[in-house]
Amino acid sequence: MKVLITGNAGFIGFHATKKFLSKGFDVVGVDSINNYYSTKLKKDRLNEISKFSKKFKTKYTFIKGDLASNNFVKKIFKKNKINIVIHLAAQAGVRYSLINPYAYLRSNLVAFTNILEACRQNRISHLVYASTSSIYGANTSLPFKETDSTNHPLQFYAATKKANEAMAHSYSNLFKLPTTGLRFFTVYGPWGRPDMALSLFTKNILAKKHINIFNNGNHTRDFTYVEDIVEGILRISKKPPKINNYWNAKRPDASSSKAPYRIFNIGNNKRIKLMKYIEEIEKNLNIKAKKKFLPLQAGDVPDTYADVTSLIKIIKYSPNTNIKLGIYNFINWYKEYYKV
């Protein structure tokens, strides 16, 4: 089986590529290696993947390019007999979407259209793509269920991900393309992005600088360890969705369809207070953080909490790494990688 993993120089894409290689899949990785954050980190991830593929003696090919170019995407599929697509490439970052929405338009909508078209034309057996917990937006009914309303996104990033889910459904309906959208909940772990809270907190605490704590520290998050996320991706990739014969058009279930379409939450199924998360970082660094409390930022969701009942039912799996182990692993990696 040959798998195309887009965004494979990214945080989740890096771990997903290693996971699939370790299970004997041939992997084609694609990334533009843009400069949204450190290109060095992205290139170091790619070097790690190359070493890893040699260890498992699996076939790995990396292709650099922009998925918003339709000709580029067509060439990838023409040259490689792809069976499964794991689409993780996207412009990430909630706050950046307030500054540069056009980056999200190109990376999250145009590129996704090209992927959908290529999957249709090449009869791909399963398209798995990244969505986000941010899609629940103004909804405050916890835990978030896949059947909940997602009609009130709070920022453009979430709006593009909601659009991805709708676009995928249209292709599942029209062309019977099996698609599965995965709503990730606050992913963290080794090789994480430097613009994410865990990296920012760690960097500033080590430098004896203050850390910005938004919403005056009242956030709660369903922190999900990256290895748990990619285990979920692997298992789901092997179970393409089928038509739900019990789907009721008069009372539509938003998580499934009469088309081969499915939506899953992937989260740890636990609400953790942000201040507890910070305490674990402080313990691992053995440094007390200087804290600057700030109000809720535009576009921020106060709480996230995943209901993973469907995930457990369909793939018999639920993320379960606790933050003590997850942060411990991250801090060890951070100190080694950044030599601090």
Q: Supply angle C-alpha 70, 86, 240, rounded to 5.
A: 115
Distances (CA, A) of 171 to 81, 179, 203, 260: 20, 8, 43, 9
Of 217, 152, 232, nearest in space to 185 by CA: 232
- Beta-bridged to residue 118, according to DSSP, are none
If residue 265 lies in a helix (H) or strand (E), which one and from where to where? Answer: strand 261-266
Distance CA 169, CA 226 (A): 26
Q: Any idea which residues carry the catalytic annotation?
A: 157
Torsion angle of C-alpha atoms 202, 205, 206, 209, degrees rounded to 10: 130
- Token pair recorded at residue 201: 């907190």
Of 298, 323, 312, nearest in space to 138 by CA: 298
Helix axes 274-285, 197-206, angle to 10 degrees: 40
- Token pair recorded at residue 115: 């992927």
Distances (CA, A) of 200 to 92, 99, 207: 16, 19, 11
CB 289 within 8 A of CB 236: no
